[in-house]
A and B are shown apart, each in its own frame.
Chain A
Amino acid sequence: MKTGSMLSIQNLSVSIDSNPILAGLSLTVPAGEVHAIMGPNGAGKSTLSYALAGKPGYTVTAGSATLDGEDLLALEPNERAARGVFLSFQYPIEIPGVPALTFLRTALNAQRKARGESEVSAPNFLKLVRAKAAELKMDFDMLKRPLNVGFSGGEKKRMEILQMAVLLPKLAILDETDSGLDIDALRIVAEGVNAMRGPERSMLVITHYQRLLDYIRPDRVHVLAGGRIVASGGPELAHELERAGYDQYSKVAA
């Protein structure tokens, strides 16, 4: 029986250009749970997401991160993706010359190949993407255009969620997915995310504001400040932060 996924981060320290950003961060996300990471600007929220995804230049100096008990930090970024790690980028990248559909199909088949699964045929792939795009109220023809080129901020974020819906990760990290979205786009994106909640999928929702968490209700909320988790609680913690601000934690961290 499949036990579902679990992210376990122990005492993780990460530096960029020898500057320590994360300093002994520990966090556990049980299978099927959605955890929010909140914190002031510069606390290391994006560093955490990039370090888990394996971005070059993010040097792990101490600690561990495992997914289902497997050491993530020893893997290449594409190997982590094939194991089920998905990062929804705060600023999705434009890729001129590569149609979004081509990119997504290449990614899906690369992941399937890495897992020893057969490739998805072109008709089945298109059927799948058409259905997911409709759920996210995306214009299918847009997917024939080069990935994210000329897309609005909201379209780029929807494109991220569409990719997540097609790739079906075990661990989804949503980095400031609410930034740049108006309220309608936020609702659609949140519905897309909520539709993917399930017992075999964990999510890490990184946000500066509480607003997103009205739509994506987290099981737990963690406060990241000074490169560590300084407080954890239930959903009510997000509201408390919205009221009281991050100042108290900045002082703790300093």
Chain B
Amino acid sequence: MSVARAIETRDAALLPSRRDEDWRWTDLRGLIRAVPPASPVHDGGLPVGPFAGVEGDEIAIVNGRGPDLLTVAAGETRIAALRFYSGAQAGAHFSRMAITVGEGASLTLLETYETAAADYLVGAEIDISLGQGARLERIVIAADGAEGASTSMALVIMAPEARFAQTLLTHGARRQRLETRVDHPGAGAHARLDGVYLLSDKRHADLTTVVTHAGVGGDTDQLTKGVAADQARGVFQGRIVVSPGADKTDAKMGHHALILSDRAEIDAKPELEIWADDVSCSHGNTVGALDEEALFYARQRGIPEAEARAMLTGAFVGEVVDRIAHDGARAVAQAWVARKLGVAS
């Protein structure tokens, strides 16, 4: 069961299916009868990327081809736009990337999944290693197509005192999974894992995270908010494991979703596994409708219904977007949300 192997061997039977507990709500096997042929070399350039306005180096992985290493040397500070572009109609590709942020170094990673194609099956795996005291802020805009299937897996290993923060922003795909696994050493390291999903039509997005605290005194702060309209489906799976000996771990997880249609669906599975003492772990999970009282209040003041809904929805997810530390990236994220909700920002 592996997306990478299924693509490499063109064997659809290897795709994860709802029989795999971890993939029960994101059934790729049930969707894809045959793995599409390998994507050819992309012909031509790339469109302007979502983070084009933010100063930084650009690294493009096009149809699975491109650099596979990004290294930030100890003490260095960098901003990099990492663009995964799928330009092949009905193609399949998988790529791997290794990112190393050296001791005391700092990286702002502006990661995007972009496409001009449909009926594709793609995957990306990013192995991230953060040295002692290193900082990584990862902001992801997953702009997949409505008819694409896309998976992304980030495996993060943190050294003591490292800080890892991420914000995933997605509007989903035919099937889409954005997965993050963090090896947390405790030891003064801090992880923030945030997400925003804004889904409509028949789109699907799965935000899965696993954070494993292995040592004493680590923090994890997680906040995901999402909206599902029409026949869309949002999946949130969040697991925090506090291993034996990982005492004084401070972890909190929040997932809150708005469901805007009778035919939309939200599946959430927050899990805390605690095997240590003197820990502070909490989780909150809510799924509800837009506040009708607030909606009427806004309309009574003259704001048309569609605009009022967009304003209230934007405010709901705005709490997450506001946590992005990088000013330029936050502005891009705010504009992205506003555009998805159909309001002028």
Contact = CB atoms under 8 A, between A and B. Distances in A.
Interface residues of A, number: 32
Given A82-B302, A95-B298, A97-B315, 8 more contacts: A54-B300, A93-B293, A95-B294, A98-B311, A106-B303, A107-B302, A110-B301, A163-B301
Interface string A76-117: 111011100111010011111110000110111011001000
Given A95-B294, A97-B319, A77 B300 contact: yes
B279 to A, nearest CB: 29
30 contacts: A54-B299, A55-B296, A76-B304, A77-B299, A78-B302, A78-B304, A78-B308, A82-B302, A85-B300, A86-B300, A89-B297, A92-B297, A93-B293, A94-B294, A95-B297, A95-B312, A96-B315, A96-B316, A97-B314, A98-B312, A103-B298, A106-B303, A110-B303, A110-B307, A111-B301, A114-B304, A146-B315, A163-B301, A167-B301, A167-B302
B327 interface: no
B16 to A, nearest CB: 36
Nearest to A98: B315
A179 B269 CA distance: 44
Contacts of B296: 55-56, 77
B305 interface: yes
A56 B297 CA distance: 11
B304 A110 contact: yes
B318 interface: yes
B262 interface: no
Contacts of A107: 298, 301-303
Contacts of B292: 56
A53 interface: yes
Contact of A110 (B291, B302, B316): B302
Contacts of B314: 97
Contacts of B308: 78
A55 to B, nearest CB: 5
Contacts of A146: 315
Which 4 pairs show the lowest CB-CB distances between chains A and B?
Answer: A97-B315, A81-B302, A107-B301, A111-B302
B293 A81 contact: no
From A94, A97, A163, A167, residue with most partner B Cβ within 10 Å:
A97
Interface in B150-191: none
B315 A81 contact: no
Contacts of B315: 95-98, 146
